[in-house]
Structure 1
Amino acid sequence: MEIIRGLLFTYDIENTDNLEREKLISSKDPNNEKELIEIFDALTKPEFLAYTALEQKWFISSIKHYLSKNDNFDAIFKAMATYFSSPITHQQSFMQTLLSRLKKYNKQKNKTQLTIY
Structure 2
Amino acid sequence: MKVKPSISILTGFLFLFDIDYPHEESVEELICLADVNDYSELSKVFDIVVRPDFLNYSEDDRCWLIETISFFLNENDSFKAIFEKRSFLFSDEIEDGRFFMSTLLGRLQAYQQEMIRVE
Q: What amino acid maps onto 2:42 in structure 1?
A: L
SS at 1:103's partner residue? Answer: helix
Q: What amino acid maps onto 1:94 in structure 2?
A: F
Q: What amino acid maps onto 1:55 in structure 2?
A: D
1:77-116 deviations in whole A, cap 9, x for unaligned? Answer: 0111111110001110000000011011001111111xxx
**1:96 and 2:97 matched:** no
Partner residue in 2 for 1:82? 88
Partner residue in 1 for 2:36? 30
**Cα offset, 1:14, TM superposition:** 1.9
SS at 2:92's partner residue? Answer: coil
Partner residue in 2 for 1:112? 118
Query: Within 2, Cα distance between the matches of 1:16 and 1:82?
Result: 13
Calculate the TM-score normalised by the size of structure 1. Answer: 0.92
**1:48 and 2:54 matched:** yes
What is the aligned length?
113
Pairing partner for 2:14 from 2, 5, 8:
8
In structure 1, runs of 5+ residues without a counterpart are: none
Calculate the TM-score normalised by the size of structure 2. Answer: 0.91
Partner residue in 2 for 1:64? 70
SS at 2:115's partner residue? Answer: helix
1:4-37 deviations in whole A, cap 9, x for unaligned? Answer: 1222111111214532221110010110000011
Q: Provide the aligned C-alpha RMSD in A.
A: 1.0
Bigger CA drift: 20-29 or 58-67? Answer: 20-29
Query: Within 1, Cα distance between the matches of 2:11 and 2:39?
Result: 19
